[in-house]
Amino acid sequence: MPVVDKITKILLDAKGFDRYFHSIRILAAGNGEIKAEMKVTSEHINPLGTLHGGSIAYLVDVISSLGLFSHERGYKPAVSANININYLSSSREGDTVEILANTLKIGKTTAILQIQLKNQETGVTLAKGSNTMFLLD
C-alpha cells in the first residue's frame, strides 16, 4: 500500500478541490483494488439532506484512480477520460459510505475500472460506476 499512502498524503496536503479528500479513509489497497469509507457530513449533502451527486462523482473519480495506482502496472500518470455513474439510492448525513473499486483492464493507453458505493450499515448500493482512464506515460 505504499503507493496509495504516497498519493493519499499528496491529496491530504492539497489546497484545491482535493482538500475534500480529508473525510475519506482508505481501508485496504493492492492488486488494482481498493476499499475505502467516508462518513457523510454536512459538507457532502445537497439541499434535500442526501449525499450530493457531485460528492459521489468525486468518490468515483478519486477512489478508482487510487485503485489503478495500487495495481503493479498502474502507477503512472493518468487522467479520467470517461466517468459513468448510475445513482441507485440515497444516503443521509451520519451514514457511512463504503467505496469499492477494482481494475478491470490496463491496456497500452487506457485503463478501465469499476466502482461501487454502498451504505455500510444497510448494505444498500448507492451508486455503481466506471472510470476509463487515459494513461499519460
Total of domains in the chain = 1
Tell me the sheet residues that pair with 55.
Answer: none
| Residue 65 per-residue DSSP state | H
Q: What is the CATH number of the domain that holds 115?
A: 3.10.129.10
> For residue 116, what are the CA distances in angstroms to 15, 35, 85, 101, 120?
27, 10, 9, 6, 12
Per-residue confidence (pLDDT) for residue 42, from 0 to 100 = 92
Q: Would you say 26 and 34 are in contact if contact means Cβ atoms under 8 Å apart?
A: yes
Q: Which residue ranges of the chain lie beneath pLDDT 70? A: 1, 3, 7, 10, 19-20, 74-75
Residues 6+ apart with CB under 8 A from 99: 24, 34, 35, 36, 37, 38, 59, 63, 115, 116, 117
- Domain residues for 54? 2-135
pLDDT tens track for 52-86: 999 999 999 999 998 998 888 766 789 999 999 99
Look-up: residue for cell 482512464? 133
Residue type at 6 in one-letter notation: K
Per-residue confidence (pLDDT) for residue 1, from 0 to 100 = 55
